[in-house]
Amino acid sequence: MSKRTSRLGFVWPGGGAEQDFYGFLEHAADHVRLYVSCTRVGGTGDNDHDIKALERTARLDWLVEAARRLETLNMDCVYWPCTSGSFVMGSHHAKQQVEVLKTTLGIPAGSTSLAFIEALQRCGFRKVSVLSTYPESASRTFVSFLNEYGIEVLSMKWLGAPAGWDAALFTPEFIIDNIPEAMHTGAEVLLIPDTAMPSLFAIERFENAAGLPVFTANGVTMWNAIELIDGECVINGFGALFAGQLC
């Protein structure tokens, strides 16, 4: 018996990776239909990754405003697929974001930064390398967020994208070229944050280049969202986390 079509609502901050999610769902989870409600973001479009801009993007009232536009569509799960806008004010605020989304629509909710933590904790990983699309300040804020959960960042390289629209132009080849500089021999996993950068169809290539598991922002987002909907997520062809090889 085929699964009924489930409805996943994104409170979407923009950026340029929508096709990544739509393509993934059509290819790997066609029982899930995606609905997007755009939220407001800080910055001008050219500096969205500045800390002050990200703090505005993280506003609870802006998330609620966008979530309410999904109320009449009978969602099964609502998600905040934004890494920087969920880690920028720390773990307490990240949890508040998920709670207000859950309360607003009365359904399961999640966010990308907390999905990174869920994946790391589930797999028992505590030592990581990071290849960040962001400028230095946002990259170091992501490290601080990970540290709150006892995750040790052994090495990091930042690529300096001033906004999500810039990160969206990073090709898989460009990321692969930068993986060696981001790696530490003691790392158990490589993290690549930023949902604005399409990554789902390149995860296995990243893992081949890194020689260990790679968690991308879009990867942990879809893994976590499908688990919130289905109770589990095992899908081949999208890296070790999706294949159920790690947890």
Kindly report the number of other CB atoms within 10 A of residue 231's CB atom. 7
| Residue boundaries of the structural domains of the chain | 6-115+218-230, 123-216
Query: Burial letters for 117-134: b for 16+ Cβ neighbours within 10 Å, e otherwise?
Result: bbbbeebebeebbbbbbb
The CATH number of domain 123-216 is 3.30.70.20: no
Query: pLDDT band at residue 45, thresholds of 50, 70 and 90?
Result: confident
pTM: 0.97
Please name which of 119, 101, 123 lies closest in space to residue 110, comparing C-alpha atoms: 101
What architecture does CATH give domain 6-115+218-230?
Answer: 3-Layer(aba) Sandwich (3.40)
Query: Burial letters for 21-35: b for 16+ Cβ neighbours within 10 Å, e otherwise?
Result: beebbeebbeebbbe
Residue 82, pLDDT score: 98
Looking at the DSSP assignment, which residues form a beta bridge with residue 191?
A: 130, 215
Residue 1, pLDDT score: 41
Topology agreement, domain 6-115+218-230 and domain 123-216 = yes
**What are the tens digits of pLDDT across the range 188-206?**
999 999 999 999 999 999 9
Please name which of 196, 212, 210, 202 lies closest in space to residue 237, comparing C-alpha atoms: 202
Q: d(Cα 202, Cα 49) in Å, to the nearest integer?
A: 23
Share of the chain above pLDDT 70, in %: 99
Is pLDDT at 233 greater than 80 in this prediction? yes
Q: d(Cα 55, Cα 1) in Å, to the nearest integer?
A: 45
**What are the tens digits of pLDDT across the range 134-175?**
999 999 999 999 999 999 999 999 999 999 999 999 999 999
